[in-house]
Structure 1
Amino acid sequence: DSKAIGARPDGTLELEGGKTCQADLVVGADGVHSRVRDSLGLLSKLVELRDGCGRHLVPRKESDGVNSQRLESWTGGRRIGIAPASRDYNYVFLCCSADDTEGRMQQPFNLAAWVGRIPG
């Protein structure tokens, strides 16, 4: 496992620590502030939207109680959704407005800002 920090037009993927590897296809799915995309000069404009959403794959535990359910909750200005993604993971989305600084904190994730709003 190595963190990708950039890519080159010839399909070379640049990894943290100075290593590189060759690829036929590189998909830069590393978020809105993508280092992979930016290393290729592909960004023409970054627009800050009024609302945003963090999406996460969370390991499933039997004790969660939501593993076979799909849940969605609107609480104030926030929206939370949970759905099974696979046998081992749940898909979780957390949406809030741009002025919700606690809710927007994704890295590191601010669990305390959301825990009281999760249904159940």
Structure 2
Amino acid sequence: MDTQTIVSAIEAIVIPVLVFALQGALKDNKRLRNKRKEENQEREKGISEGVVALLRTQLIDNHKKYMREGSIPSYAYENWVLMYKAYKALGGNGMIEHMNEEIEDLPIRAAGTEAKKWEKR
């Protein structure tokens, strides 16, 4: 056997084995990427649902407090608006919508002043 025949025989064996190994590695890589993607989506969903729950709790607590007081300080109103927008953007349900309408109807007062001195906006 000459050298060329030996090299051709080795190529005929080695190249398919390398291609097979490379295909396997690519499939494993794709499987791992898909698994990571699913895990990240699950984690993001959990974070989103957790944030919605925390926002809902805070919105309910603030609603109770300011409805009882009969007015809302300007800083608390700004926080309410930001939390409500985030709550809705994250898919929060309509339970808070009625509370938002009630908060919108409250007089806004300057921080540190008594609620009774301020008119509705």
TM-score range (shorter-chain normalised) is under 0.3
Name the one with the larger strand percent.
Answer: 1
Name the one with the larger helix percent.
Answer: 2
Q: Point out the structure with max Rg over C-alpha.
A: 2
The TM-score normalised by the length of structure 1 is 0.24
The TM-score normalised by the length of structure 2 is 0.24
Q: Which has the higher contact order (CA 8 A, sep 6+)?
A: 2
